[in-house]
């Protein structure tokens, strides 16, 4: 048993020696790509009430898309806009849209929406 563990450990060490860690240049390249990606923007805890409201509207689009099992293209068709704008909504690019515009889009998929201001 001890010999098996030693052999296994030796093989693991050999694999580690053979593996190559990425260079700083490669790591910087990957980090740069990640920073430029169009991932979802999260809202700051100290964001304004209006920004939080617009962020919540974007969440409603995500929920609708998931619950109805539709594609981004289908959602774009439903709200009568292009896929690029839908992508921005789904990634919470709240600075790209006025509150009125987001509400207008949302009313196209949920005409009975009630907006409560408190």
Any idea which architecture 49-109 has in CATH?
Answer: Orthogonal Bundle (1.10)
| Tens digits of residue pLDDT in 73-86 | 999 999 999 999 99
Q: How far is 99 from 107, CA to CA, in rounded Å? A: 12
Read off the pTM: 0.67
Alpha carbon distances (Å) from 17 to 5, 6, 14, 21: 18, 16, 5, 10
- Rounded to the nearest integer, the mean pLDDT of the chain is 85
What number is the average pLDDT over the span 108-116? Answer: 90
Range with the lowest mean pLDDT among 8-22, 34-48, 65-79, 101-115?
A: 8-22
Every domain of the chain with CATH number 1.10.260 lies at 49-109
Residue 69 has pLDDT above 70, yes or no: yes
Q: Note whether 99 and 53 are within 8 A (CB).
A: yes
Alpha helices in the chain (DSSP H): 2-18, 24-36, 49-68, 72-78, 83-90, 99-109
């Amino acid at each position: 048993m001890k010999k098996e563990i030693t052999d296994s450990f030796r093989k693991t060490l050999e694999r580690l020696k053979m593996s190559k860690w990425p260079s700083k240049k490669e790591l910087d390249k990957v980090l740069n790509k990640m920073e430029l990606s169009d991932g979802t923007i999260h809202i700051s805890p100290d964001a304004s009430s209006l920004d939080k409201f617009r962020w919540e509207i974007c969440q409603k689009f995500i929920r609708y898309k998931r619950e109805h099992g539709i594609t981004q293209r289908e959602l774009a068709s439903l709200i009568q806009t292009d896929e690029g704008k839908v992508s921005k909504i789904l990634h919470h690019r709240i600075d790209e849209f006025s509150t009125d515009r987001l509400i207008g889009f949302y009313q196209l998929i949920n005409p009975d929406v009630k907006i409560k201001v408190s």
